[in-house]
Structure 1
Amino acid sequence: MADVQWLSIDILPIDEQFLQLLEHKQLKKDMSVYKEVIQYVLHQLQTDKDVKTARVMKIIGQDIPEITALGNALLQNSKDSAPVAQELYRQAMLAGDDQGSFSYASMLYRGYGGTPTDEEEATKLFSRLSKKGHPYAQMNLASIIMRSHPQRVSDAIQLYELAGKSGVSDAYMELGRMYRLGYGVHQDHQKAKHYFQQGTENGMSNPRCHFMLGVYCSSPENESDLRKAFQHFQVAAAKGLPEAQYNVGLRYLKGQGVDANPYNAAEFFTMASLQDFQIAQVNLANMYLHGNGIKKDMNKASYWFGKAAALGGTIGNEAKSQLVQLQAKESNTCAVM
């Protein structure tokens, strides 16, 4: 068990955070109730005694989901609270809460915050929840199968499809990725596109699925496909995907699938650059360097070349070279003046 001797009631959210949790209905009881639960669980863990589910239930007013909600609140507040949160999830599981069981299994599998791992037990829990129709457990179990038992790929596919039908769009992303790369299956781009498409339908709008459809539509020979590519990239960009933001910027810059607009290109390159998307930083630096669509600004050009250079790699080395040249040019200009 992780060290809990130094933990105290301070792992609870402070009053301001607590009020926000109440406002967003993440918690719904008085702070005194949660303090009593934490004090009891902490005491039992620190004295190496069993936590009694009946006692926890009595304190929490028989509100089983609230045990899980308290565990969530603790983890949001501090990673140090992981041992207590894990025990709360275990208590919720013992009381019959599937979400608590899922959270407990997830912590068991990953060992979050220094808590002990037990992959075998976690897998059993994910399997049990999957049979009950828990979509995120189905996702996790499918992922475990693909890593540990690739010969059972058909089971993984079935689990991903069940999760997808329950509204977990990432399941369709995983299926599309498998068929695109030939991971555990024969490579099949038609099936890949089919699954990526499913991840954008029926109320789902998975940004990575949109991005991959944009990639598939990026054929320079077909203007109609280029327009579709731009639309997919645009949806993914609006959801914050930096590679999509870069691609929208690139298409505005080159006029592919949309009318050329350097100003808009710079806007989207900036969005991606702020998320450390390296090639967007280089493009943005060059736009500032040449005043393409935006006002020429040597300081900003240097800044973005520097940011890209700091990320290293081939692109980083090229950015560093451009930065050195820019600084040398500025130095010579100052010397002449």
Structure 2
Amino acid sequence: MSINKFNSDLLNINNSSCEFFHINQNFNEMNIIETGPTTNYIHENIFEEDLSIIINELSNLYFKELNEGKESDIRKQHILDFIKNYKINLQEIIYWLLNNQHNSNSIHLLGYFYYYGIEVNSDKQNAYEYFKKAAELEHDTAQYNLVNMYIDGDGVDKNYDKAFKLCKKLAGKGCPSGLNLLGHCYDVGIGTDIDKEKSFELYRNAADLGNLNGLNNLGICYEGGVGTNVNKQKAFESYQKATELGSTNGMTHLGWCYEEGFGTDVNVKKAFELYSKAANLKNKYAQYNLALMYEKGKGIEKNMEKALELYHKTANLGNCLAQYNLAHMYKDGEGVEIDFDKTFELFKKSAEKGYSDAISMLGYCYNNGIGTIADTQKAFELYQEAAILDNNCAQFNLALMYEIGEGIEKNMKQAIYWYKKSANKGNEDAQLRLEELLKDF
């Protein structure tokens, strides 16, 4: 697949490899960044009662763009632009919200500012409490944010049952973002059994309502035959429609289609253009794909300096694939000076997002003392973790450790088991080692 499913696109897409707030009733103790005007000193062109209208308009804008599937960074920028256009100081908004917690829009918006750290220090537990309070007042956006917080365990303990229950409520209201998110729950089994057909149906419903995440997820379903038959043309059309509606994720998917000739003729130039457009809009997946093109000289003259620049950009945005590639570059001195400390750090960051190749390579670092003190027991644990995730190299290395008794007690039965797993995936080293071992059994 071109990139991962777009499940939630919450305030902070974690996405998770891939990797949200405690109401303090004493407003005087709120940790505001700078002392600012109270509502008694609001901009002379803005009456205090007008702020109530502005808060409602802000909430409506946020909800509209959430249901359209606009990316979180874009939504945030539009919120800030909206406030700027009214020539209101952000602290004026904050102080007004602190003293006017009388409706769900005000409660939710204050939680949003706490989540993002807008004019206040970021406090996800505090934001969670505001979202929870607004959600209890049937605020749809707050309920949506809570679902994602329960799924990710960000600012609150993970709770898939609560996430699924809230998600069903949102979808039942016909909320496009809720339909897409419920599709994700059925897709991966969050609070319910996995049901790919149901997931596909919900993604399609969200897409029919113009939700960009729904369109992209629908394309992925058609691309991989998830809950439906593989249909290259429909996948291409879904990505194309998402692109036309301004989705940078759609641009990235569509670029991949042109690069690989999926549902269309191969057009590397078009792929490069789409990746570039999305990358300039800070899409980390597009930045990664564009970096690959510069690294390989595909569709563009090879340029390692540009590739490294893009890898660093997307790695800093949390892209586990870019972190993994950069780690290899620092390990091998490819385009950069060899730096084992950075190698270890980047493999670790990528591994923390659940990327099995990175988990395996982190085990390799511990096994060989690359950027860290050698620790064969830790290496064994990491190889085992990646092997369970069906990583071929990790399965081979785990088998080898069982065979020679490194980091674990020697166990030939386990060695053969993992060599077989690796060999069945075409690992020639595992096939040869297995053949030798089976002669003795």
Q: Structure 1 length as normaliser, TM-score?
A: 0.67
Shift of 1:269: 1.3
Aligned-partner Cα distance in 2 for 1:64–1:257: 47
Shift of 1:136: 1.5
2:140 is the counterpart of 1:26:
no
Instruction: Indicate the structure (1 or 2) with the bigger Cα radius of gyration.
Output: 1
Stretch deviating more after TM superposition (73-82 or 162-171): 73-82
Report the counterpart of residue 141 of structure 1 in structure 2: 254
2:243 is the counterpart of 1:113:
no
Do 1:150 and 1:184's aligned partners in 2 also have CA atoms closer than 8 Å?
no
- Note closer, same or farther for the CA distance 1:74–1:244 as it changes in structure 2 (3 Å cut): closer
Q: 1:227 aligns with which of 317, 328, 341?
A: 341
Shift of 1:213: 0.2
- Note closer, same or farther for the CA distance 1:128–1:87 as it changes in structure 2 (3 Å cut): closer
Structure 2 counterpart of 1:227, which letter? D
Higher helix share: 1
- Note closer, same or farther for the CA distance 1:269–1:190 as it changes in structure 2 (3 Å cut): same
2:285 is the counterpart of 1:170:
yes
Report the counterpart of residue 394 of structure 2 in structure 1: 280
Shift of 1:254: 1.7
Aligned-partner Cα distance in 2 for 1:282–1:111: 30
Aligned-partner Cα distance in 1 for 2:216–2:198: 18
**Deviations 1:271-290, CA, capped at 9 Å, x for gaps:** 22112223322222222222
Structure 1 counterpart of 2:258, which letter? I
Shift of 1:26: 2.4
Do 1:172 and 1:195's aligned partners in 2 also have CA atoms closer than 8 Å?
yes
2:406 is the counterpart of 1:289:
no
Which is bigger in relative contact order (C-alpha 8 A, separation at least 6)?
2
**Deviations 1:292-323, CA, capped at 9 Å, x for gaps:** 23233333333323332333341231231243
Do 1:305 and 1:323's aligned partners in 2 also have CA atoms closer than 8 Å?
no
- What secondary structure is seen at the aligned counterpart in 2 of 1:234? helix
- What secondary structure is seen at the aligned counterpart in 2 of 1:260? coil
2:321 is the counterpart of 1:180:
no
Matched residue count: 274
Q: 1:192 aligns with which of 307, 321, 327?
A: 307
Do 2:268 and 2:299's aligned partners in 1 also have CA atoms closer than 8 Å?
no
Q: State how 1:39-78 maps to structure 2 within 5 Å.
A: 60=173, 63=175, 65-66=177-178, 68=180, 77-78=194-195
- Note closer, same or farther for the CA distance 1:229–1:104 as it changes in structure 2 (3 Å cut): closer
Q: 1:210 aligns with which of 292, 317, 323?
A: 323
Aligned-partner Cα distance in 2 for 1:83–1:287: 42
Do 1:308 and 1:319's aligned partners in 2 also have CA atoms closer than 8 Å?
no
- What secondary structure is seen at the aligned counterpart in 1 of 2:167? coil
Do 1:89 and 1:103's aligned partners in 2 also have CA atoms closer than 8 Å?
no
* Unaligned ranges ≥5, structure 2: 1-159, 189-193
Aligned-partner Cα distance in 1 for 2:179–2:422: 45
Taking every aligned residue pair, what percent have the same amino acid on both sides? Answer: 23
- What secondary structure is seen at the aligned counterpart in 1 of 2:168? coil
- Note closer, same or farther for the CA distance 1:302–1:192 as it changes in structure 2 (3 Å cut): same
Do 2:330 and 2:337's aligned partners in 1 also have CA atoms closer than 8 Å?
no
- What secondary structure is seen at the aligned counterpart in 2 of 1:240? coil
- What secondary structure is seen at the aligned counterpart in 2 of 1:217? helix
Shift of 1:66: 4.9
* Unaligned ranges ≥5, structure 1: 1-17, 35-59, 332-337
**Deviations 1:182-231, CA, capped at 9 Å, x for gaps:** 22222222222221111112xx1111100100111113799961221111
Report the counterpart of residue 38 of structure 1 in structure 2: none
- What secondary structure is seen at the aligned counterpart in 2 of 1:311? coil
2:197 is the counterpart of 1:80:
yes
- Note closer, same or farther for the CA distance 1:122–1:245 as it changes in structure 2 (3 Å cut): closer
- Note closer, same or farther for the CA distance 1:250–1:84 as it changes in structure 2 (3 Å cut): closer
Q: State how 1:97-112 maps to structure 2 within 5 Å.
A: 97-104=211-218, 112=226
2:380 is the counterpart of 1:266:
yes
Aligned-partner Cα distance in 2 for 1:68–1:314: 42
- Note closer, same or farther for the CA distance 1:193–1:116 as it changes in structure 2 (3 Å cut): closer
- Note closer, same or farther for the CA distance 1:311–1:167 as it changes in structure 2 (3 Å cut): same
Aligned-partner Cα distance in 2 for 1:183–1:156: 10
Structure 2 counterpart of 1:130, which letter? T
Aligned-partner Cα distance in 2 for 1:169–1:246: 23
Stretch deviating more after TM superposition (82-91 or 290-299): 82-91
